[in-house]
Structure 1
Amino acid sequence: MKKNTLFITTLALLVTLATLATHAQQNVAVFKNGSAFFVNKMRVNASKGYYLLDKVPAATFGTLWFIADNNTIKGTRSYMESVRKKQKVKNKMDALRANQGKMITLTLSNNKTYTGVVQRLDGNMVVFSTGGKWMTFTPNNVEMVVFNQAPAAEYTQKQKKRVLKIDFAKANANQTFEMMYLQKGISWVPNYAVALRDNKKAVITLKANLMNDVEDLKNASINFVVGVPNFAYDYLQSPVASTQRVSDFISRLNRNSNRSSSRLRNRADITTQRLSNFAPRSFNGNMSGIRGLKGQSAEDLYFYNTSNITLKKGDRAFYEIFKANVDYEDIYEVSLTANSSSRSSYSKSYAQSDQSIGKVWHSIRLQNKTSYPWTTGTVLITKKISGVAKPLSQDKLNYTPPGSKTKLKMTISPNINVKSAEREVSREEKKTRKDRYTYDLLTVESKIDIKNYHNKDIKLSVCRTITGEPIKCNIPWKTNKKFSVYNNINLSHDLDWEVKLKKGEKKTITYQYKIYVRR
């Protein structure tokens, strides 16, 4: 009984060690720019003082590192090695190769039938023995194969591939070590959904599209990274993982070492961050109604953490990051066409401009009351009508830290009518000279007529950029002086109004500005 117990225990231990020898705990930080940082914790048999890694990752330059527990790694060496690899049968040539030495019956293209054994394959030539004779033919001559027993569905073939030898200072049959590297070909893209509810409530959901084109992930811990990574040499592959010639490697290293800053500037903003134009605010709200993954911050990066992810190379997946209840407010905005400083726009016959119509955008403003930063991503806005979700808009949600607000465009609102026109009030001729030119000083009066056809009260933001100096307005406004165009006699100003209108109400904004116009 004791012997049986000892045998079973020993067998279980051997099975465990065999499993550990091929198992790697994967921790992957996935960026939005198409790269990821892998940390693979491995337990291997290094009883001969080394371990042969037959899958060398396509690591980028300077990011491939090995750290051994209770041991020293003396060195690593990569080289090309002939290894046997199992292949699945895909065609006639493969079928003959997989079933060498077996009795089969062939029907060739000349309609003759032969029974015998495939002895070997020389290149694209099949060597076949039948009835004490030998014959050769190409697989294209084979019309049909009849097997006398179940055919093999796969075969082994020698292939040249790069392997990595890791030399340890001490032999250890149960050696653990970490392998770290940055690798391209895996990325995540954020998608938001905002479902509008009654009473100015909404539910925001963030899901991650994970795309994997590099290696199989098995029960991996995945960190979806928010932030802009700086890997200055990720355009180069590590020499240990590459077959690149020395001269080519050095040439690329020298030629591209200064390109990282421009590369960051040109990168699409969905894969990086675009800041919301709302300033951060202090946040002390409660966290009820929020469901999501655990998160961690490190310096200027933030990590959404999830675990037990299995995704094969070439696969795609969709994972929920968080879902939260938030408040929203409706915003109506119109941006009016800027004026011109061209003298053709202000001739002596100028009396009143044609009336222009402003397009009013309906947007919503959300406050981030979660503990997560909202990374830049696409957002789909929906609202249930008769129990069915209806699409309202798709926009881009800009990066919004906790406690801050962000704005999402929905649609153009036809129920708010905005018309504007302006006229010359006075002209002081030959008011000044500059750079050999003479200028008149005009006083211009502008009117903005607004009518709310909604069956509700609204608040409308009106903005316009003018060239000239604002003078007065019949309602409160904000003016913001801008940098002038080089050598321009007029300054530019941004004008902003907040107008509250009851349902059916009409209001008029009247303001004046001065502008120098060349004669």
Structure 2
Amino acid sequence: MATTSNNTPAHASHAYLFKNGYGMIVKTFEFPSNNKTNGQCIELMDPPSNPVHGTFWIQSLSNKTSITSIRTKKTKKNVDKECFSVEDLVEANVGENVEILVADDVRQTKEWITGKIKSVKRFQELSDDEDTNPAMPSGPVVHSFPGHHTISSRLPSSNFHSSHNKSGDLVLFETADNGLLGLTLTSIKSIRGATLKTTYPHKISKNCLSIDYKNDSGSNDTGLMKYLTYGITWAPSYNLVLLNSNDPSTKRLRLSSKAVILNDIENMTVDNLFCIVGFPNISKFASVIDPIISGDDVKTFLNSLTQCETTHSRGHGHSIMSNSIMTQQMAMPPMSSNISIPDNTSQDVNVDDLHLYEFKNILLQKKERLMLPIFDVEIPYKDIYHCKINSLQSEYMHSGYGEKKPFEEVWHSVEFENITNFVLTTAPIIITKGDQEQQFIGQDTLTYTSKGLTAFVNLTKALDVQIQAEENVVNTNPKRFTFRRTNYQSDNIEGKISVVNYKTETIVVVVNLSLTGKITNHSVAPKKDVMKTNENTVNEQHDIRWEINVKPKQTLDITYNKIYNRSV
């Protein structure tokens, strides 16, 4: 059977990076053609070290090649090693004309001798057992993942030149007058020469995947290797600059986005690199290394599966799954007619519920950090004063309805529509003012925003805008009713939200109110009222949004009435 040895390719046709530390790597390699009926074998050395269980696959991309089996093995390979000692230099220069400094410990003399190193005879040869590749280990070692530990086996590596008795090493040296000397390696104190070699060949055992296959098509075929692995990710961030303008009616901002690639696994060149926005379902087996690579014994492998199932059933897998969508604006406002889509940006790729930022021909070095720009556009915006009120909290619901509440937190924010060709993923955003000045305003979190939806970014707390919310019980219906074995009475509640503008200009105030109860009327029509109810709840839930203009020094009240069913 013909055998071909190759390194696992460092070239990836595709790489898909999630924000939770995992990446899907896709590589290709060749199945050479051979018309022999006994088949062929190709050995891929240095396979990936920690592919997730069930995600490591090797296949042919056509029906010209049939794979018979894939097995793990060790193969011997000569590698060049750097010389770190005189002993290394002696071995590296076998067959070369050199000068050596030989010490006689008995006579306590040293002498330079010119000649050729014929051979170096090691007292104990251990090099064939050395393995410098950490993949497919074979002794106890702990693989760390977020929130998980799995055990596999690995033997400790040994240093070649410290693993034996150097005093027994024999050097055969041919002098200039053709005399042959037998010297101990330790007696040679120095070596010099016009063309001294500083590396030497060393045979080691390498982990590899041995693939038995048959390809009698007469032409080479393409094979595919793919795997999900931990240790490569991307981190997005945004830069928002409020641009100066002489016309107060025209407000524009500059929004930029970048991706930082963190690669801790391997060197590779990637034809198509995708940074993914979405919520991947990869938690269940994320802590288990594929058994063909891990080298785990049966007990260890089954224990890791058991631990994985237990952790997943307890719901701890969410920390691994959490990726990019933390908050999503649900409003879907129409696009303004005077806004044009920027034509200087590429477009993300939408695959089901995942969005992909695509980059071409990227070189990724292990332990290197790489910054890639995504887009840089100007967008119209408007200033708003934003307040979120949550009356679902118990302090609003069950007692003290007549008590006046403290002032709510009001933020001066900017509101803009995502008119880019990309979804905006959850990430930190820095806000500055002036393209030249770059005056620092603050830092916020930009939440997930689909194309065409509205995004909010908080700038500063608004001290000149005050909002107070209160609810009062007007009356209670004495008639009781039972719902799911619990008795209830209905309270008629009047709510009021007071907005005070101490500024010298008209402002836009956005109030988001979350409340429980059936709304019967309101003094100001909301821009949005999303009602949530089901057969298991006795009260409706509302997410209401008001958007109002408040004049300078004006106090504006929003009132509403609701019926709240209270347990008694």
User: Equivalent residue for 1:365?
Assistant: 415
Q: Is residue 443 of structure 2 the alignment partner of residue 398 of structure 1?
A: no
For residues 508 and 262 of structure 2, the distance between their equivalents in structure 1, rounded to whole angstroms, comes to: 43
For residues 493 and 288 of structure 1, the distance between their equivalents in structure 2, rounded to whole angstroms, comes to: 34
Retained in 1: the 8 A contact 2:7–2:46? no
For residues 302 and 197 of structure 2, the distance between their equivalents in structure 1, rounded to whole angstroms, comes to: 48
Return the match for 1:157 from 202, 223, 233.
Answer: 202
User: Equivalent residue for 1:247?
Assistant: 299
Q: CA RMSD in A?
A: 4.7
Q: Offset of 1:317 from its aligned partner?
A: 0.3
Per-residue CA distance 1:447-484 (angstroms, 9 max, x = gap): 65533233432111235556777777665568877779
Per-residue CA distance 1:287-307 (angstroms, 9 max, x = gap): 653433454333333332221
For residues 260 and 251 of structure 1, the distance between their equivalents in structure 2, rounded to whole angstroms, comes to: 14
Return the match for 2:434 from 358, 372, 384.
Answer: 384
Retained in 1: the 8 A contact 2:11–2:270? no
For residues 8 and 468 of structure 2, the distance between their equivalents in structure 1, rounded to whole angstroms, comes to: 75
For residues 103 and 556 of structure 2, the distance between their equivalents in structure 1, rounded to whole angstroms, comes to: 92
Per-residue CA distance 1:344-392 (angstroms, 9 max, x = gap): x47xxxxx7466222211222221223332233222222216x221232
Per-residue CA distance 1:9-39 (angstroms, 9 max, x = gap): xxxxxxxxx9999784532222223222222
Return the match for 2:47 from 56, 60, 63.
Answer: 56
Retained in 2: the 8 A contact 1:392–1:411? yes
Greater alpha carbon shift after TM alignment, 20-29 vs 209-218: 20-29
Seq. identity, %: 21
Q: Given residue 164 of structure 1, which amino acid in structure 2 is its aligned partner? A: L
Q: Offset of 1:64 from its aligned partner?
A: 1.0
Retained in 2: the 8 A contact 1:20–1:43? no
For residues 238 and 564 of structure 2, the distance between their equivalents in structure 1, rounded to whole angstroms, comes to: 46
Return the match for 1:222 from 267, 273, 287.
Answer: 273
Aligned runs of 1:333-482 on 2, under 5 Å? 333-336=386-389, 338=391, 339-341=395-397, 345=400, 353=403, 356-384=406-434, 387-419=436-468, 448-464=497-513, 475-476=524-525
1:330 aligned counterpart, secondary structure: strand
1:395–1:450: structure 2 CA closer, same or farther, 3 Å change rule? same
For residues 272 and 213 of structure 1, the distance between their equivalents in structure 2, rounded to whole angstroms, comes to: 21
Retained in 1: the 8 A contact 2:325–2:448? yes
Retained in 2: the 8 A contact 1:331–1:459? yes
Retained in 2: the 8 A contact 1:340–1:467? no
1:249 aligned counterpart, secondary structure: helix
Q: Offset of 1:159 from its aligned partner?
A: 2.9
1:306–1:439: structure 2 CA closer, same or farther, 3 Å change rule? closer
Aligned runs of 1:199-238 on 2, under 5 Å? 199-218=250-269, 220-231=271-282, 232-238=284-290
Q: Offset of 1:52 from its aligned partner?
A: 1.7
2:463 aligned counterpart, secondary structure: coil
2:259 aligned counterpart, secondary structure: strand
Greater alpha carbon shift after TM alignment, 254-263 vs 32-41: 254-263
For residues 204 and 259 of structure 1, the distance between their equivalents in structure 2, rounded to whole angstroms, comes to: 41
For residues 134 and 43 of structure 1, the distance between their equivalents in structure 2, rounded to whole angstroms, comes to: 49
Q: Is residue 84 of structure 2 the alignment partner of residue 32 of structure 1?
A: no
User: Equivalent residue for 2:149?
Assistant: none
Runs (5+) with no aligned partner, structure 2: 125-162, 174-179
Return the match for 1:179 from 219, 224, 230.
Answer: 224
Q: Given residue 256 of structure 2, which amino acid in structure 1 is its aligned partner? A: T
Q: Offset of 1:244 from its aligned partner?
A: 1.3
Return the match for 2:59 from 56, 63, 66.
Answer: 66
For residues 114 and 363 of structure 1, the distance between their equivalents in structure 2, rounded to whole angstroms, comes to: 83
For residues 455 and 120 of structure 1, the distance between their equivalents in structure 2, rounded to whole angstroms, comes to: 93
User: Equivalent residue for 1:83?
Assistant: 77
2:305 aligned counterpart, secondary structure: helix
Q: Given residue 235 of structure 2, which amino acid in structure 1 is its aligned partner? A: V
1:452–1:160: structure 2 CA closer, same or farther, 3 Å change rule? same
Q: Offset of 1:518 from its aligned partner?
A: 10
Across the two proteins, how many residue pairs are aligned to each other? Answer: 486
1:252 aligned counterpart, secondary structure: helix
1:201–1:260: structure 2 CA closer, same or farther, 3 Å change rule? farther
Q: Offset of 1:318 from its aligned partner?
A: 0.8
Q: Is residue 349 of structure 2 the alignment partner of residue 296 of structure 1?
A: yes
- TM-score (norm. length: structure 1): 0.74
Retained in 1: the 8 A contact 2:251–2:382? yes
User: Equivalent residue for 1:12?
Assistant: none
For residues 283 and 294 of structure 1, the distance between their equivalents in structure 2, rounded to whole angstroms, comes to: 18
Retained in 1: the 8 A contact 2:55–2:228? no
For residues 513 and 109 of structure 1, the distance between their equivalents in structure 2, rounded to whole angstroms, comes to: 103
Retained in 2: the 8 A contact 1:26–1:217? no
Q: Offset of 1:330 from its aligned partner?
A: 2.1
Runs (5+) with no aligned partner, structure 1: 1-17, 347-351
Greater alpha carbon shift after TM alignment, 249-258 vs 61-70: 249-258
Retained in 2: the 8 A contact 1:212–1:314? yes
Return the match for 1:329 from 367, 371, 382.
Answer: 382
Q: Offset of 1:79 from its aligned partner?
A: 0.9
Retained in 1: the 8 A contact 2:7–2:44? no
1:358 aligned counterpart, secondary structure: coil
For residues 103 and 479 of structure 2, the distance between their equivalents in structure 1, rounded to whole angstroms, comes to: 102
User: Equivalent residue for 2:326?
Assistant: 274
1:65 aligned counterpart, secondary structure: strand
1:379 aligned counterpart, secondary structure: strand
For residues 172 and 114 of structure 1, the distance between their equivalents in structure 2, rounded to whole angstroms, comes to: 65
1:266 aligned counterpart, secondary structure: helix
Per-residue CA distance 1:90-128 (angstroms, 9 max, x = gap): 678766765678644489999986767894665254347
Retained in 2: the 8 A contact 1:107–1:145? no
